[in-house]
Amino acid sequence: MTSATTNKDRRLGKGLAALLGTPLDDEGNPLSDSAGGQEGVKIQSLELAVGDIQNNPFQPRREFNPEEIASLAESLKNHQQLQPILVRIVDGKYQLISGERRLRATIHAGLPTIRAEVREADDRLVAELAIIENLQRKDLNPIEKALSFKRYIDEHKCKQDDLARRLSIDRSTIANLMRLLELPDGILDMLQGGELTAGHARALLPIGDEEIQRRTAEKIKEESWSVRATETHVAELLKAEEDAETGKKVVNATRQKRRTISPQVEAMQQEMRMIFGTKVEIKSSARGRGKITLHFTDPDEFERLRDMLSDAGKPRLRVAG
């Protein structure tokens, strides 16, 4: 695991612990209250019948790997449940907050009860806990993550910055995932179905035409393109689009006119388009002066670009090894 991934997981764990008011174990599961919890958080531990627990309505995950559930169920048959699930009481009934995989595995194993901790939590806190818990899962679909962010922001009328602060995560994480929702439904279905990766999907975002996006996505699937091959193809499409905007075909006269941009600058321009996921223009003079223009279409995209530029300016730590 890289140091960057480790640091990200630690931030997610910190956010979950802060929301729960409870320290976490090495895998991000809440420890019992005896390990030290936030003062004022009411906790009650008990055994609950699995049939008495309602699902978490804010759970972003729609699909659970049946093999993982079966494996966890086998483990529960042979070993005592190490960590309790978390529930709350809603209208006199128990509703799941955290631990749906353990609950599903317990049901799969045919066990009648499960150890649980009852906590006080409102809808907003439960939604935040569900998001954080699932961000820690490497197999959660990126669209499910993005939809959970969108639902939270829409329901609580907040900005991406607000959610990032509450969850102790980078705002760019939220922005980059939510940008995927701008893609056509057919591409989102392919992404959810595992036919495309998030890297493929991000490479399609700079394409302005939805039909071209769909055709490109089909080529990625049919020809098993790598993310790098997809980025190269998209860069070529963007260049062709620029040529079309001039209202002229790519003929010798047009090529001669475009030579005002050196091949080196044009290559850098294309590379920066792929990095920033938006239109980039570089203009330079014979004296070496010039400017770089980044295009954005809405405030969220502006914030995303600002975050990328801010992150690029931060010092990077080198890990010796």
What are the residue numbers of the active site?
Answer: 100
For residues 16 and 163, what is the distance between their CA atoms, to the nearest angstrom?
A: 13
Radius of gyration (C-alpha) of the chain in whole angstroms: 24
Residues β-bridged to residue 47? 115
Contact (Cβ atoms closer than 8 angstroms) between residue 216 and residue 207? yes
Q: Which amino acid is at 97?
A: I
> What would the two tokens of residue 135 be?
């961000």
Partners of residue 88 on adjacent β-strands? 95
Q: CB under 8 Å to 294, separation ≥6 — which residues?
A: 276, 278, 279, 280, 305
Round to whole Å and give the CA distance between 215 and 235.
Answer: 15
* 3-state SS assignment for residue 93: strand
Fill in the amino acid letter for 70. A
Amino acid at 234: V
The token pair that represents 268 in the structure block = 């850098």
Sign of CA dihedral 304, 310, 311, 313: positive
Residue 246 contacts by C-beta under 8 Å, 6 or more apart in sequence? 254
Half-sphere exposure of residue 188: CA atoms within 13 angstroms, side-chain side: 15
Residue 140 near residue 109, CB atoms below 8 Å? no
Residues 6+ apart with CB under 8 A from 231: 203, 274
Q: Which helix H or strand E contains 86, and what residues bound it?
A: strand 85-90
